[in-house]
A and B are shown apart, each in its own frame.
Chain A
Amino acid sequence: MKTGDDIRAMLLAVADTMQANRDALCRLDGVIGDADHGIAMAGGFRAVAEALSETAGATPAEVLNIAAKSFLNAVGASSGPLYATGFMRAAAAVKGKDSLADSDAATLIAAMAEGIAHRGKAGPGDKTMLDAWGPAAEAASAHQGGFAETFAIAADAAEAGAEATALMQARLGRAARLGARSVGHKDPGAASAALMLRAMADASN
């Protein structure tokens, strides 16, 4: 059983991870983009952590909606609307629940992936964060197990998905303008998605 406070703890762990990896994500983005992805993710989750500082006792859906709004307003960029839509979809998927069952882990991850796909219009193989979130959602949905275990399996799939983006040619976003020159470099959005899921898995243990 996971409460809103547990979800909040998972998001706070993501904030720490993004801060720790901020410059590495910027360098990764510098190869095929504009070198600001780490700043967006670290700044966005710092704002989420601040917004969640006085939300003890909130429901999981309330926590996720606060995360959506604070991330969007701090970031803008592409990751702002993508993650805001993902968090809002996740909130809607568990609306009205005071606590989450094991099976809700897959529900949350799948809703995140759907929201991101809906807002960004990306498909599999476009070399975007969806190439981490899509496999994560599939792996989580196929798994019947505990909450933390489901997140860990999703994180494994997201990491493999992020690695696989190195072989892809970007079809969406700034890197798409590179054409074949984007091949050989891991997508920073997919890399941060894998970091996020791993942090959430570790924090929900």
Chain B
Amino acid sequence: MALNDATTLPKETPMKTKKIINRGEDAVDEMLDGILLAHGAILARADHPRAIVARHGPREGKVGLMIGGGSGHEPTFVGFVGKGLADAAAIGNVFASPPPDPALACATAIDRGAGVLFMYGNYAGDVMNFDMAAEMAAMDDIEVRTVLTTDDIASAPRDEAAKRRGVAGNFFIFKAAGAACDRMLSLDEVERLARHANARTYTMGVALAPCSLPHTRVPNFELGPDEMEIGMGIHGEPGIERGPLQSADQITDAMMDRILDEMQAAPGDRVAVLVNSLGSTPLMELYIMNRRVQARLSGAGLETHATWVGNYCTSLEMAGASITLMHLDDELTPLIDHPCECAMFRVVA
């Protein structure tokens, strides 16, 4: 039996992409094996092979922070597990939410009587699976709260901001929430600060070339040789504007125009900056973009408190980049500066 309407299918791509993998279906578990071998001093498996916890994170009376989602975005999510940031990550298949079991194993492993906060990007599958896990945790007398990240301003209009998806801004939002947990704040206060961090974080992305899943090794969308797409999601979801490839300054301006318009900052306000590669766009191009980002910030009278440039939230080998600004205030700045020691990210005091 075959799908009967072949006319609606794009024609098969003859060329398979090249990847350094063994079997596609083993990619996620073999990656986790490698991560644990590299970072065993920081990370350990909980009572599920896809539940990764921080060895030195959870402690008596501290709210536990669990993050999670599909694989393929490394260092998001597993790379941000460690003391001072997330206590655990529940790992799904490539670009797919984990089922409830690993999330429940994480919650059980990191609960120290003060409750657990679930944080993840706003996608339908993640919401269903993590909500099921939260219901199961409640049956085990673990108090779970949930804060969804919705930083991708291209994914829905401003008046429907709650429908937006979570992308690279996760990095700042998780960082702030993890610091609040590490400062031993209550679950109520951690939840409030996490929502506050999410509300003040804005991301725009641009895609230049597709990625391919390890199982299929077929590009997951088509983009012409001289085209780019602004606003594309980190799973290749179509964006808001497709057009000819432009210069770094033009692309950066298009993204910064929208971010600054959303952020409504006053001169003198401070921001944290993330210029992120979607996978294969190199540091050279990210730093070229950052040069323009900083020029635009200066032009708007804004001050940059801290800048991160590199691979923080990727889409396998997708080419492209995203810009995230977090609009800092007196509550968020100390949380961003708070030290953390994760497998793939550190902030020193």
Contact = CB atoms under 8 A, between A and B. Distances in A.
B92 A178 contact: no
Contacts of B280: none
Interface stretch (B8-16, B30-38, B79-87, B270-278): B8-16
A159 interface: yes
A174 interface: yes
A78 interface: yes
A186 B125 contact: no
Contacts of A25: 3
A101 interface: no
Contacts of A17: 1
Interface stretch (A69-77, A92-100, A102-110, A131-139): A69-77
Interface string B74-107: 0000000000000000001111111111000000
Contacts of A173: 124
B199 interface: no
A78 B124 contact: yes
Contact of B220 (A23, A24, A30, A82): A30
Nearest to A184: B8
Instruction: Give chain A's interface residue range (CB within 8 Å of chain B).
Output: 35 or more
In the complex, which of the residues B95, B125, B237 has the most CB atoms of chain A within 10 Å of its own CB atom?
B125
A77 B237 contact: no
Contact of B2 (A24, A76, A82): A24
Given A73-B101, A81-B132, A26 B8 contact: no
A172 interface: yes
In the complex, which of the residues B95, B218, B235 has the most CB atoms of chain A within 10 Å of its own CB atom?
B95
A146 B237 CA distance: 43
A73 B136 CA distance: 14
B92 A77 contact: yes
B1 A178 contact: no
B212 to A, nearest CB: 8
B213 interface: yes
A39 B99 contact: no
Contact of B125 (A28, A81, A177, A198): A81
Nearest to A163: B5
B25 interface: yes
A200 to B, nearest CB: 12
Interface string A44-87: 00000000000000000000000000001111111111100000
Contacts of B5: 163, 186
Nearest to A176: B163
User: Interface of chain A, helix or strand or loop or mixed?
Assistant: helix
B215 interface: yes
Given A23-B216, A186-B8, A43 B25 contact: yes
B129 A24 contact: no
Contact of A80 (B12, B129, B156): B129
A9 interface: no
A76 B125 contact: yes
B1 A20 contact: yes
Given A77-B92, A174-B235, A178-B237, A20 B2 contact: yes
Contacts of A72: 99-100
Nearest to B68: A76
A36 B95 contact: yes
Contacts of B70: 76-77
B155 interface: yes
B254 interface: no
Nearest to B214: A39
B19 to A, nearest CB: 15
B282 interface: no
A35 B211 CA distance: 10
B123 interface: yes
B165 A27 contact: no
B216 A81 contact: no
A30 B236 contact: yes
Nearest to A79: B125
B4 interface: yes
Interface of A: 17, 20-21, 23-28, 30-36, 38-40, 43, 72-82, 119-120, 159, 163, 166, 172-174, 176-178, 181, 184-186, 191, 195, 198-199, 202
Interface of B: 1-5, 8-10, 12, 25, 70, 92-101, 123-125, 128-129, 132, 155-156, 163, 165, 213, 215-216, 218, 220-221, 233, 235-238
14 contacts: A17-B1, A24-B9, A25-B3, A30-B221, A32-B238, A33-B237, A72-B99, A75-B93, A76-B70, A77-B92, A77-B96, A77-B129, A176-B163, A186-B8
Q: In the A-B complex, list the 7 residue pairs whose CB atoms are closest, starting with the nearest.
A: A34-B235, A78-B125, A77-B96, A35-B220, A81-B128, A76-B99, A77-B125
Given A39-B93, A81-B129, A178-B237, 15 more contacts: A23-B216, A24-B3, A34-B237, A35-B216, A35-B236, A36-B235, A76-B92, A77-B70, A77-B93, A78-B97, A159-B4, A166-B8, A177-B233, A178-B238, A199-B1
